[in-house]
Each structure stands twice: as structure tokens, then as C-alpha cells.
Chains A and B, each alone.
Chain A
Amino acid sequence: MVSDEILAVKLKNGDRSALEMLFERHYDSLFGYLFRMTFGDRALAADLAQESFLRVLRGIQTYDTARPFKAWLYGIATNAARNAVASADTRRTESFEADADYPDEAPPFEQTLLEAEAASSVIAALRQLPEHQREAIVLFYDQSFSLAQIADTLNIPVGTVKSRLSLGVKRLREIIGAENR
């Protein structure tokens, strides 16, 4: 399989198929990451995913192939999400409720209720984490990034990643514990 970095070099030369391959490889997981980072705002996550790829295209000439492409892409997406969340913090969780009316593949009513309850607990917990801890937690648990990948993505030392994860997990344990009581 051709590596992301080689595809990125091809993309620098304007290769359309390289763009398509990179897009297909990363769009879904990037959308999932942004969905969590925007606390379940499906439309905003889709907008940010598109915006991230557009920024990749606009900045591809400055991309340093020594850095993993995925880390670069997620770094761009993280910045986009930070800005969006900061400027649209009023959206809150209504967007999740709005997402519930997707008629095509609507699950049974009880299942939707359970999912909505789980979602609102996780969203509430994620909201209680500081932004930098939330990013590390979502990348580690949801995106299965390694410590080195998170460090590359967020442009921080691995030690700082460990520290953010430890503090984030500690906080989440407290939240989960409080919910179970």
C-alpha cells in the first residue's frame, strides 16, 4: 500500500488520484474525531472535515514529508475544531438531538433513548475536561493514536501527552464514579 507521505508528494504535483486516496483513507475517521471534538455536532463536524482537507490542499506545498501526514492532517483539524468550538460554544448538545431525526436508518425508540443518554453523559464528561486534555483523550481512546502520534499531531513532547492523558483519565474516572453513585 502506498504510504500517506508518498501520496502527499504526489498531491504536491497536483495528482488528483492521490487526493482521492488520502480523502478516502482519512475522511471517515477524521469526521468521527471532529464529531467528538464538537460535542456531537454532525453538521459542524462535516464542515470542519471539509475545511481541514481544504487547508491541507492549500498548504500542501509547505508540507514537510518528514512529518507523518496523518499527524499533520489531524493537527490542522484540531486547530479548526478549537476555533469552531470557541466561536460557536452556544451550540451545546441541541445538535445531537437535532441529529436524531435521520429517518433512513432510525433505530428502535428504546435504543435511541439509551444511545442519547450515553451520548449526553459522554458529552457532559468531555465538556468538563480542559481542551488540551480532551484532545489527547479523544485521539488516544477514540482514534487509537499512539503517544508518539499524539505528540506529532499536537506538536508537544511525549511526556506532555502522557501527563495530559493521566490528568484527563483521572478526571474522567471521577466523573464516571460520581455518575455511578
Chain B
Amino acid sequence: MTDFEDHDTANESFDDSSVRGFLGSWQAPKADPAAKQASLAALYQELAANSSAEIPPAWAAARPRWSMLQVWLILQSQIRLVHRWIWAGTALILLLGLLVTLASNSTSSITALPFVLAAPIIAALGAALLYGDDTDPPLELQLSTPIPPRAILLARLALLFCFNLGGALIGSIILAVLRSDITFMPLVLSWLAPMTALSAFAFLCSVVLFDAALSAIISLLIWMALAWRHLGGAALPPAVSALFPDLWSARLQPALFLAALAAVLFALFLADREIRWANTGEN
């Protein structure tokens, strides 16, 4: 039984007479009548100023709830709240993937390059760790703000995805410059769809399971199976080929983007369910 459930079943155990008596031993004084009158006078003044101000047009009242400034402020706050090791780990593994690819000098297909294979799982692991009670200490803080949970999660996902995208693009540029057998656009297209799909799936997984570590393990296992399927190719039994799609196949790219979009939308829908937040608000 969790701490929360324990409190809940205790049926309002918080209504305690000793605490009431203790707090009641300190009574607030009466408000100073002069200060109260001064406050009311200031309010009248403000009201008069408001009344004389121009009434805003109807279109102004119907303007979007979220201004660009608000979106920027949410993104900025989430940069600080996402664990530093997610940023550092992602950058480090991308760098390792890049170095291994540069060192390998393999002339096989572009989709078999270590960098192309590694990019999706790096992004997926980061996305899996974005949401979960064990990786989210500032959750309580966020619950006390009027920002909806799904806006916070969307902001985090967008930030991390942009970070991964930026890192992978830089890596691709370096590869395209340093290796004459690699061209930039085919390289980008080879990892973009798998990376988007796998990170969206990992995010959905973490929202459904509410367990960052388990989501990361599941994502890793799925990625290993898909990489095995991709590298094994025709050598694999037909049953295995039918069970696992080739994530790096160009034919699947549009479907992967659509699946990623659906997964993120579904995850955001689930993330706003009140009971989830209520049950995990206090740890």
C-alpha cells in the first residue's frame, strides 16, 4: 500500500484536535482599521481607473490562451527540471556512436551504420526517463502551478526531441564531411523516422506504466529486436520478419511518423487523467 492510500483509508486522519489546539494557541490579531480603510480607498481608486479605461474589443477576449511568451517560459522552466544526466548521457552516447561510425570505415548500407542504429535508442531512452515517479522530484512543485500536466510533458518531450534532433544533425554533418561515402540527406532520412517513432513509443510506455526504468528496459529490448531484424535481413526466418517490421526501411517512414504522432497524442491524453496525479502527488 502506498503512502497516499494509507492516508486516504485513514479517513481524514488529519483532523487532529491536538494540532488544532496548538495552532489555535496563536491567534491572528484584528486587521488594523486604518490600514483596511486605506486598502479600500486604493481599491476604489483602481476601480475608477479601470472603469475609465477603454473596454477591450470582443476579439481581444477571444485571443489564444497561450501566448508565445508563456510557451517560452514553460520551456525554459523545463530545461532546468529535466535531469542533467539525461542531457549529458544523450550527448555522450551520440558522440560515441559518431566516433564508432567514423572508426569503423564500414562500406555496408547506410542504414547499418552504428550512428544510424544508435540514434533511435538514444532518443527513446531519454523519452522513457522523462516521466515517472522515480525520476520526477519536481512533480509536486508542478502540481501546485496552474499549468496543465500535459503542457509540462509536451514541453519536456519537445525539448528533448529537439536536443536529440540537433545532436543527430550535427553528427550527420560531421559524418558527411569526414566520410566521402556518406551523403547528408540520405543519412538524416535513415535515422529520423526510426528515432521519432521509437522515442514516441518510449514516451507512451512511460506514461502508461509510470515507471521510467521499466519503460527504458522495454524500449531497449524492442530496439534490440528491431536492430536484429534489420541487420539479419533475409537470413532470418519468415516468421520473425513478419513479426518485427524493419524500422529502418524507407517504405515504412510515413507510417512511422503517423504512428509517432498517434502515440504522443495518446500519451498526452492519458497524462492528464487526474487520478494518476492525485495518486502520485506525494512521495
Residue numbers of A with Cβ under 8 A of B are 14, 16, 19-20, 23, 27-28, 31-32, 35-36, 40, 42, 46, 49-50, 53-54, 57-58, 61, 99, 102, 115, 118-119, 121-123, 125, 132, 137-138, 140-142, 154-160, 162-169, 172-173, 176
Contact = CB atoms under 8 A, between A and B. Distances in A.
Interface in B94-138: none
Given A141-B20, A172-B19, A173-B16, A54 B42 contact: yes
Contact of B43 (A23, A31, A42, A163): A23
Interface stretch (B85-93, B140-148, B236-244): B140-148
Given A46-B31, A123-B26, 9 more contacts: A16-B47, A23-B43, A31-B28, A50-B43, A54-B46, A58-B50, A142-B28, A160-B278, A172-B16
Contact of B143 (A27, A54, A138, A160): A160
A16 B144 CA distance: 33
B25 interface: yes
Given A132-B140, A166-B13, A176 B42 contact: no
B8 interface: yes
Given A23-B43, A157-B278, A35 B144 contact: no
B40 A46 contact: no
Interface string B60-78: 0100000000000000000
B234 interface: no
Nearest to A120: B26
B18 A176 contact: yes
A154 B141 CA distance: 12
Contacts of B145: 155
A69 B8 CA distance: 28
Given A27-B36, A50-B39, A118-B26, A163 B19 contact: no
Contacts of B61: 61
Contacts of B42: 50, 54
Given A49-B39, A176-B22, A169 B140 contact: no
Given A141-B19, A168-B14, A14 B281 contact: no
Which size class do B's interface residues fall under? 35 or more
Contact of B7 (A31, A61, A162): A162
Given A57-B43, A157-B281, A166-B13, A176 B19 contact: yes
Given A155-B144, A160-B282, A122 B23 contact: yes
B10 interface: yes
A4 to B, nearest CB: 16
B257 interface: no
Contacts of B163: none
Contacts of A123: 26
Contacts of A155: 144-146
B3 to A, nearest CB: 8
29 contacts: A16-B47, A19-B43, A23-B39, A28-B30, A31-B28, A31-B36, A32-B31, A46-B31, A57-B47, A57-B50, A61-B61, A102-B29, A119-B26, A122-B22, A132-B140, A141-B24, A159-B281, A163-B3, A163-B4, A163-B7, A163-B8, A163-B282, A166-B13, A166-B14, A169-B13, A169-B14, A173-B16, A173-B18, A173-B19
A36 B121 CA distance: 51
B4 A159 contact: yes
B54 interface: no
A122 B25 contact: yes
Nearest to A165: B14
A172 to B, nearest CB: 5
B9 to A, nearest CB: 10
Contacts of A46: 31-32, 35-36, 39
B183 interface: no
B35 to A, nearest CB: 4
B148 to A, nearest CB: 10
Contacts of B56: 61
